[in-house]
Every structure is written in C-alpha cells, then in structure tokens.
Amino acid sequence: MSLAALFTSLFVVGHLTVSATTQIPFQAITDAQRSHLVNSPVDATGDSQFYEFKWPIRKVAIIGAGVRWVTGVRREVGALIDAVECSGLLAYRELIDAGFEKVKIFERDAVPGGNWHYTDELPLEAPIPNLDPKIADYEPSLPSPDSALPFEVWYADHNDSITTAERWRRHRAPHAVWKSLTSNVPAPHMHFNGHDWPPGTPWNLPHALLTRYLRGVYSFYGINSNDKSANVTYSTRVELVEKRIDAEGIEQGWQLTLKKFIRLGPSSSKEVWWTEDFDAVVIATGTFNAPNIPNIPGLAEWKHKFPGSILHSREYRYPEKFANQSLLVVGAGTSATGISADLNLFVKRNYLSLRRSANSTTPTAFLNLLPQGVDIVVGIERFHPSNATIELSDGTLLADIDHILFSTGYQYTFPFLPQYHNSSIGLDEEGPEDRPQPLVTDGSHYRSLYREFIYIEEPTLAFMNMNLGAVTWTFGEYFAVAIAKIWSGTARLPNQAEMWKSYRERVAASGGYGKKVLYLPSTGGGMSGYIAFFMGWLNSAAYEFGGKTIDGLNKDFFEQLWVFQIAFFANPNPVRIPESNHSEGFIAASTEQPSPVEFLDYLTSGY
Ligand SMILES: Cc1cc2nc3c(=O)[nH]c(=O)nc-3n(C[C@H](O)[C@H](O)[C@H](O)COP(=O)(O)OP(=O)(O)OC[C@H]3O[C@@H](n4cnc5c(N)ncnc54)[C@H](O)[C@@H]3O)c2cc1C
Ligand SMILES: NC(=O)c1ccc[n+]([C@@H]2O[C@H](COP(=O)([O-])OP(=O)(O)OC[C@H]3O[C@@H](n4cnc5c(N)ncnc54)[C@H](OP(=O)(O)O)[C@@H]3O)[C@@H](O)[C@H]2O)c1
Ligand SMILES: *[C@@H]1O[C@H](CO)[C@@H](O)[C@H](O)[C@H]1NC(C)=O
Ligand SMILES: *[C@@H]1O[C@H](CO)[C@@H](O)[C@H](O)[C@H]1NC(C)=O
Ligand SMILES: *[C@@H]1O[C@H](CO)[C@@H](O)[C@H](O)[C@H]1NC(C)=O
Ligand SMILES: *[C@@H]1O[C@H](CO)[C@@H](O)[C@H](O)[C@H]1NC(C)=O
Ligand SMILES: *[C@@H]1O[C@H](CO)[C@@H](O)[C@H](O)[C@H]1NC(C)=O
Ligand SMILES: *[C@@H]1O[C@H](CO)[C@@H](O)[C@H](O)[C@H]1NC(C)=O
Ligand SMILES: *[C@@H]1O[C@H](CO)[C@@H](O)[C@H](O)[C@H]1NC(C)=O
C-alpha cells in the first residue's frame, strides 16, 4: 500500500471512530421508560428479545484498582497499538455517575495503579510446568467453613513458616514492570477525559510518571489509599465470588469472600476474612496475573538441576544483576524484545529465541526494537540438563547459558470464579451442555462473553477490557458506559440466545479459539465495526432512556499513533532474523528485516 493510500485509510477510519465520552445533559429515566424496559417487546415465539435481569441491581463491586493498558492489533489499518485504559477507575466513574446505591472497589495491592505500581519486590517464581489456569494466580484462601466471620489470623515470623514480607508478596502479587520501562503508546492516547497531561510531557512515558498520574486521578475521585473512602478497600484480595441464594432458594446476586492483609509490624501481620453482598460485579483484574511457560522437554529437570536459572519476564527488574552472564530470552513480544534491549549492554551473550509457529500472533515488528548485539536464534526443541546444553529446532546446541528468561506471556485466570474454569475442555470444544459454559479453559484466552465484556451465562458479571483486540483507551469508556447503562436499565442486552448467536459468529470469524480470539475479527469491520456498534447501541439507548452518549475517535488519534510508531519502531540497522526452516510445525521466519519505509508498508498490510 502506498503512503497516500495509507493516509486515506487512516483518515477514513479516523473519521468513523472514537475518542471520549460526551456528557450530554443527563436525563433521569422516567417511570414510563422503566416500565417500557420491563415490558420489553416480544418476538414471534413469545420470548422477550431482551435479557431480563433476575434481580434488581443496586450494589456493584469492582475488583481491581488498576489501569488498563492493552496491546492490540488494529487489523484494518494494520498498525500496532498499545493503549492505556483504566479498568477499575473507569468502571467506578461511570457507575457512580449512573447513581447506583453502592459502588465499591476491592484491590489486593496497598495502592492504586495496578500493573504500573513498580517495586523492586519480585512476584513469586513461576511454576514449571504451568499450573492449571484456575489456580495459576492463587488458590482461594478461606477460613474453615464453620468459622464465624469476620475471621482473623495473626502471624509472626517466629511462629509462621512464611515471613511477613513473603506473606504480603503472595497476597498482593508484585507486577511485571521493569525499572527502565517506558510506555509504547504516545501520552496523548493515555489519558482520562478531563485529566490532560501538562504540555511538555514526553510521549513515551516512564512508568513512574504514569503511576503518579494514575494516583493523582484516583485522588481526584477520592479513592486513593489515603482517602479513607468507604468506596474502596486496599490490601484486600477477592477470594471467591459465589451466587447468593436467599431463604426461599432464589438466586439473589453475589457474595464476595474477601481477605485483607494488615501489617502489624516489620515481622508480624494479620489477615481478616469477611463477606459482602452485591448485585453485580465488574472484573477489572487485568490479564497478566499468571505466567505462561511453555512445556518444553527437559525444562523441569533443568530447573531442578540449576535452581534460580529460569525466570519469567514478570520477575525481571534491571540488567545489572546479569552483568557478564549469558542470557537466553524466549519469546518475541514486547516483553522479550524490551528486556533483551535492556540487557544488551550488560551481558556477555544475549540470545533471543524466536519461534515462528503457524499459531503465532506476535508481529515481527517488535524485532525492530532489538539493538545490534542481540543474537536471534530459532525456537527451543529441548533442554539437556545432563550436559547443560539447549537444543534448538534447527539442531544448534547452546552451551554456557546462565539464565533463561521466558517472556512467553500469561495465562487467563479468574481465581475467584473457579466454578467457571474447566481445563478439561479442548481448544475448539465447548463445555457440557448441562453446565454453564466456562470463562476459561486452557488459559490461552477467555470466552463465553457477549461483545467481550458480558458473561452470557450470568450478565451481572462484566469484564473490563480483557480482550486484547477491543483496544485503545477509548474502549474502557465504551465498556464502562455500557455496563452502567445495562445495569441501571438505560440500555438493553439482547436475550441469551441472541447473545450466544452473536458470540458464536464472532468466534467463527476469528477462526476458532486460542489467542487469536483475543483480537477483533476483520469481518464485520473489525475495530471500526466494533466502535460503530457501541456508538449505535449506546447512543440510541441514550435517546430512548436518557443518559450519556459517546463520541467517535479524536481526529488526531491515528496521526499521532502513526508519528509515534515511526519513531518507536523504525530501525535503520536491524538485527538479522535467522532462516529457520520447518521443523514440527515451525514455519520459516522472514530472512529480511524491513527497512523503515517498507516497515510502514508492512504495518498497513496486516499479517
Ligand atoms: C511489563 C509490562 C509492560 C507493559 N507495558 C505496556 C505498555 O507500554 N503499553 C500498554 O498498552 N500496555 C502495556 N502493558 C499491559 C498492561 O500491563 C496491562 O494490560 C494493564 O495494566 C491492565 O490494566 P488493568 O487495569 O485492566 O489491569 P491492571 O493494571 O493489571 O490492574 C488490575 C488490578 O486488579 C488487582 N487485582 C487482581 N486480582 C485481584 C483480586 N483477586 N482481588 C483484588 N484485586 C485484584 C491488581 O492488584 C491490579 O491492581 C504492559 C504489561 C506488562 C506486563
Ligand atoms: N511498554 C512496553 O514496551 C511493554 C513491555 C512489555 C510488555 N508490554 C505489554 O505487556 C503485554 C504482555 O506482553 P508479553 O510480551 O509479556 O507477552 P505476549 O505478548 O503474550 O508475548 C509472548 C511471546 O512469547 C511467545 N511464545 C508463547 N509461547 C511460546 C512457546 N511455546 N515457545 C516460544 N515462544 C512462545 C509468543 O510467540 P507466538 O506469537 O509465537 O505465540 C510471543 O512472542 C502486552 O500487552 C505488551 O504490549 C509492553
Ligand atoms: C461513594 O459511593 C456512593 C454511592 O455510589 C456515592 O454516593 C458517594 O459519592 C461515593 N463517595 C465518594 C467519596 O465519592
Ligand atoms: C503467632 O504468635 C502470636 C503471638 O506472638 C499469636 O498471637 C498468634 O496466634 C500465633 N499465630 C499462629 C498462626 O500460630
Ligand atoms: C565484567 O567483565 C569485565 C571483563 O572481564 C570486567 O572488567 C568487569 O568488571 C566485569 N563486570 C562485572 C560487573 O563483574
Ligand atoms: C548433550 O546431550 C545431548 C543429549 O544427550 C546430546 O545430543 C548432545 O550432543 C550433548 N552435547 C554436548 C555438547 O555434549
Ligand atoms: C469439564 O469439561 C469436561 C469435558 O467436557 C466435562 O466432562 C466435565 O464434566 C466438566 N467439568 C465441570 C466441573 O463442568
Ligand atoms: C530452508 O528451506 C528452503 C526451501 O525448502 C531451502 O532452499 C533452504 O536451503 C532451507 N534452509 C535451511 C537452512 O535449511
Ligand atoms: C496450532 O494450534 C492447533 C490447535 O488450534 C494445534 O493443534 C497445533 O498443534 C498448533 N500448532 C503449532 C505449531 O503449535
């Protein structure tokens, strides 16, 4: 595609699409409108076209006080996008505006900011092999069933097998950000409406600046950790979300089992368990909570023989501790390429293992971020702990590797909803028909959601921004506005049969399950179609029932992205990509790195 054609396509798409929500004068919903909602039209079979909630929704819980940053692939412009969204915060703002009786956030960390709260403190070592996705983040920790709530346990280092520091680390789960990390999205795309960055802010934001911004916005809404707001509780992990059944045996919303960590001193703490009831729950826990390490032959034995030699990217902080060592980074996403580049000046040998599989979704563009000095090698066939060599798929043996850093992504998991996980279901299979369809199967994706955000089996569970394709920070606002409207009765969901139909069409258009289902299919207009759908749906609901309307994209959106990407990805001296010939499903990688100009064409051609 020529540059001119590219610009045309950008502006055509840009013209269609989104940016911010507009607060149009809020019209309170009238009783007449409400009754219209309840007595919704029926189709020929006599069934309502619309989903009717089983209980009134007045109290809403939000799990996670984070920021939503998502990497996505804009297929119709072929560009790579990472965009920031604030899942917990955006949901909070919309739900408060919609006038729910109670809106409360539960956050396991002591401060807001989610992924962007950097600490030297490391997350737990990644298990090898992977745990079942249901428990890959944590297994719900519960007091014995006969305990009276609230229930407390006191711990002191002298009588506990786990130190206080360790107990806290397990409770809050430190995030994957490393010290030199900057955003790979321009700052103008990473702001909340009404909270602009000051002039002069760099477009690639250091994580510390972003964290301060996020804390500022949380403070603005009175829900930072020092605000003593009853609407948020920090250091509190949601252990379980279960159906509440009333005295007559009727389902009445959800009961959350919560556990708060309270530090009493440098070597003592207590944990308190209690429950709270809600009518609906927003899940804004992010998608990077459980590491994924591929099950490569010999790896478990290697880890056993060389303890501490295997790391996951979420355990990486800074390069100094690897000085003069030989490292093998596995993967080709932004973590792998970012960490490789960060290590480059410090390490003795800097290998990056790139697999190109028929199922690969990682754009090769990220490889442009690698500096000279990084040795790209092909995928790993097996580990030989007996003589400390690593065999690659082209037969090469690597020796003298000190650390292997798996930057192979994450597993989807919602540990507080174990009832909707089932790892026995095959990749392209559905669950047994007599049970609710699961949210998570093998951990490579999440499923059973209408438009990627409403759990079709239980539409009082909503997910914020967990589909990597439904991106740009703007989507956070779409989902948040949609959730607030649906649950307050000012927009309607189709009935469950219609939601399943729409969902199955979506899965089919993505070519089935797996990581690919996390990107919007190009059929149906991809991103633009998705945005048009939300605008049509929510804006017509606003005219019918009152409330907010939403806008299209800021007109500068694509141009800013375009300029940023040229600066970010163009590399006049790229690292050579090896020719890796077919071996057990691996396909040959490109032998040529695109030049900056070709690279732009590549970005627009899709992949
Ligand atoms: C190293 C790294 C760098 C990244 N860089 C970029 C980038 O430059 N650009 C980009 O677009 N994206 C980036 N991302 C992606 C980004 O981190 C996430 O997608 C994003 O932070 C998710 O935002 P969120 O609010 O949805 O979730 P999070 O920011 O992860 O927040 C979720 C919150 O939920 C809390 N939580 C989780 N479980 C529970 C529970 N059971 N009970 C209570 N609270 C809970 C967590 O503590 C957390 O505070 C990066 C990711 C990583 C790992
Ligand atoms: N600001 C930044 O610069 C920055 C830095 C880090 C992370 N992030 C964000 O954080 C998120 C997570 O990124 P991530 O890089 O950690 O994860 P990711 O995007 O899921 O990438 C995982 C990588 O591992 C590879 N992989 C998976 N299974 C493998 C296997 N069995 N063998 C070999 N390779 C395998 C994948 O290749 P295939 O495609 O072949 O499966 C892919 O290259 C993204 O949203 C990203 O944008 C941003
Ligand atoms: C807390 O939530 C309630 C109910 O949604 C709301 O009325 C109140 O203003 C919120 N408190 C603060 C400090 O924002
Ligand atoms: C540990 O010791 C403290 C007193 O130092 C006591 O209160 C607490 O109950 C003990 N906890 C456990 C788990 O044994
Ligand atoms: C790394 O090796 C070089 C050369 O042997 C040496 O000068 C340097 O001090 C070493 N650095 C560290 C941190 O050990
Ligand atoms: C290491 O062991 C593997 C498997 O036994 C073998 O194929 C390989 O040649 C050995 N490498 C070296 C350097 O001895
Ligand atoms: C999980 O899926 C398998 C395979 O379909 C099924 O046999 C099993 O009953 C399911 N388990 C639960 C708890 O639903
Ligand atoms: C890779 O495959 C091509 C075509 O089959 C062949 O020409 C080439 O020699 C192979 N290269 C290697 C390194 O095996
Ligand atoms: C690709 O995914 C399919 C399942 O959709 C799996 O059967 C196949 O083995 C995978 N191929 C590779 C090379 O990983």
Q: What average pLDDT does this structure show over 162-171?
A: 96
Q: From 559, 575, 596, give the residue that closes a domain.
A: 559
Q: 339 falls in which pLDDT band (50, 70, 90)?
A: very high
Task: Say yes or no: 173 and 219 in one domain.
Answer: yes
Task: Say yes or no: 74 and 201 in one domain.
Answer: yes
Q: In what order do the strands lie in the sheet with 310-312?
A: 310-312, 403-406, 326-330, 349-353, 374-377
Q: How far is CA 573 from CA 337, 372, 489, 570, in A?
A: 15, 8, 56, 9
CATH code of residue 341: 3.50.50.60
pLDDT in tens, 351-377: 999 987 777 777 777 888 899 999 999
DSSP state of 42: B
Q: Which tokens is 162 given?
A: 């786990």
Q: Which tokens is 203 given?
A: 């477009």
Q: Is 323 in the pocket of ligand 5 (CB under 6 A)?
A: yes
Task: Say yes or no: 18 and 139 in one domain.
Answer: yes
Task: Say yes or no: 332 and 203 in one domain.
Answer: no
Task: Say yes or no: 300 and 332 in one domain.
Answer: yes
Work out the percent of the chain whose per-residue pLDDT is above 70.
Answer: 82
**Within-domain flag for 600:** no
Which residue has the CA at smallest separation from atom 4 of ligand 8?
Answer: 581
| Closest ligand 9 atom, residue 357 Cα | 13
For residue 498, pLDDT beyond 70: yes
More confident residue, 529 or 464: 464
Q: How far is CA 63 from CA 8, 112, 135, 470, in A?
A: 41, 12, 17, 20
Task: Say yes or no: 71 and 165 in one domain.
Answer: yes
More confident residue, 607 or 562: 562
Ligand 5 centroid distance, CA of 345 (Å)? 12
Residues 133 and 84 sit within 8 Å (Cβ to Cβ): no
Residues 444 and 411 sit within 8 Å (Cβ to Cβ): yes
Q: Is 591 in the pocket of ligand 8 (CB under 6 A)?
A: no
pLDDT in tens, 188-219: 877 777 788 898 899 889 999 999 999 999 99
Q: Is 362 in the pocket of ligand 2 (CB under 6 A)?
A: yes
Taking residue 164's Cβ as centre, other Cβ atoms within 10 Å add up to: 19
Task: Classify strands 326-330 and 349-353 as parallel, antiparallel or unpaired.
Answer: parallel
Q: Which residues line ligand 3 (CB under 6 A)?
A: 96, 100, 102-103, 222, 229, 231
More confident residue, 122 or 65: 122
Ligand 7 centroid distance, CA of 519 (Å)? 27
Number of domains in the chain: 2
Task: Say yes or no: 206 and 336 in one domain.
Answer: no
Q: Is 45 in the pocket of ligand 5 (CB under 6 A)?
A: no
Q: Which residues contact 495 (CB under 8 A, 6 or more apart)?
A: 47, 48, 49, 50, 51
Q: Is 350 in the pocket of ligand 2 (CB under 6 A)?
A: no
Task: Say yes or no: 248 and 380 in one domain.
Answer: no
Mean confidence (pLDDT) of the chain: 84
**Within-domain flag for 587:** no
Range with top average pLDDT, 44-48, 102-106, 464-468, 545-549:
102-106
For residue 578, pLDDT beyond 90: no
Work out the percent of the chain whose per-residue pLDDT is above 90.
Answer: 63
**Within-domain flag for 207:** yes
Ligand nearest 301 Cα, by number? 6
Q: Which residues line ligand 1 (CB under 6 A)?
A: 63-71, 82-84, 86-88, 106-109, 114-115, 176-177, 181, 183-185, 237-238, 284-289, 335, 416, 465
Q: Is 35 in the pocket of ligand 5 (CB under 6 A)?
A: no
Residues 14 and 528 sit within 8 Å (Cβ to Cβ): no
Pure H helices in 115-202:
164-172
Could you tell me the end-to-end alpha-carbon distance of the chain, in angstroms, rounded to an integer? 13
As to burial, measured by CB atoms within 10 angstroms (0-12 exposed, 13-18 middle, 19+ buried), residue 434 is exposed
Can you list the pairs that 67-70 forms with residues at least 24 positions away whose Cβ atoms lie under 8 Å? 67/113, 67/114, 67/115, 67/116, 67/210, 67/214, 68/114, 68/284, 68/286, 68/464, 68/465, 68/473, 68/476, 69/115, 69/116, 69/183, 69/185, 69/190, 70/465, 70/468, 70/470, 70/471, 70/472, 70/475
Q: What is the 3-state secondary structure of 113-131?
A: CHHHCCCCCCCCCCCCCCC
Taking residue 402's Cβ as centre, other Cβ atoms within 10 Å add up to: 16
pLDDT of residue 196: 86
Ligand nearest 267 Cα, by number? 4
Q: Which residues contact 127 (CB under 8 A, 6 or more apart)?
A: 136, 291, 293
Which residue has the CA at smallest separation from atom 1 of ligand 9?
Answer: 359
Q: What average pLDDT does this structure show over 232-249?
A: 96
Q: From 408, 428, 452, give the residue that closes a domain.
A: 408
pLDDT of residue 282: 97
Q: Is 324 in the pocket of ligand 5 (CB under 6 A)?
A: yes
Ligand nearest 325 Cα, by number? 5
For residue 350, pLDDT beyond 50: yes
**Within-domain flag for 586:** no
Q: How many residues does the chain have?
A: 607
Q: Is 396 in the pocket of ligand 8 (CB under 6 A)?
A: no
**Within-domain flag for 264:** yes
For residue 348, pLDDT beyond 80: yes
Q: From 371, 388, 408, give the residue that closes a domain.
A: 408
Ligand 9 centroid distance, CA of 328 (Å)? 24
Which residue has the CA at smallest separation from atom 10 of ligand 9?
Answer: 359
**Within-domain flag for 592:** no
**Residue 272, domain extent:** 3-47+58-290+411-559
**Within-domain flag for 605:** no
Task: Say yes or no: 272 and 343 in one domain.
Answer: no
Give the phi and the psi of residue 120 in degrees, each rounded to 5.
-65, -25
Ligand nearest 578 Cα, by number? 8
Q: How far is CA 148 from CA 141, 142, 160, 233, 277, in A?
A: 15, 12, 23, 21, 16
Lowest-confidence region among 38-52, 82-96, 358-372, 566-580: 38-52
pLDDT of residue 45: 58
Q: Is 472 helix (H, G, I), strand (E, B) or coil?
A: coil
Task: Say yes or no: 171 and 285 in one domain.
Answer: yes
As to burial, measured by CB atoms within 10 angstroms (0-12 exposed, 13-18 middle, 19+ buried), residue 140 is middle
Residues 2 and 604 sit within 8 Å (Cβ to Cβ): no
More confident residue, 555 or 285: 285
Task: Say yes or no: 229 and 328 in one domain.
Answer: no
For residue 21, pLDDT beyond 90: no
pLDDT of residue 86: 63
Which residue has the CA at smallest separation from atom 9 of ligand 8?
Answer: 581
Give the DSSP letter string of 506-571: HHHHTTSSSGGGGS--TGGGHHHHHHHHHHHHHHHHHHHH-S-EEEEE-TTHHHHHHHHHHHHH--
Cα gap 383→397, rounded to integer Å: 9
Which residue has the CA at smallest separation from atom 11 of ligand 7?
Answer: 422
Report the candidate in 405, 410, 406 with the shortest Cα–Cα distance to residue 137. Answer: 410
Task: Say yes or no: 397 and 423 in one domain.
Answer: no
Give the DSSP letter string of 252-289: EEEEEEEEEEEEEETTEEEEEEEEEEESEEEE---S-S
**Within-domain flag for 309:** yes
E-assigned strand segments in 138-203: 151-156
pLDDT of residue 579: 62
For residue 74, pLDDT beyond 50: no
Residues 290 and 137 sit within 8 Å (Cβ to Cβ): yes
Mutation to probe ligand 9, out of 359, 362, 428, 510 (largest number of atoms < 8 A from CB): 359
Q: Which tokens is 246 given?
A: 């009333």
- Helices 596-605 & 557-569 angle (0-180, nearest 10): 130
Ligand 1 centroid distance, CA of 216 (Å)? 17
As to burial, measured by CB atoms within 10 angstroms (0-12 exposed, 13-18 middle, 19+ buried), residue 96 is middle
pLDDT in tens, 276-305: 999 999 999 999 999 999 999 999 999 999
Mutation to probe ligand 6, out of 387, 393, 401 (largest number of atoms < 8 A from CB): 387
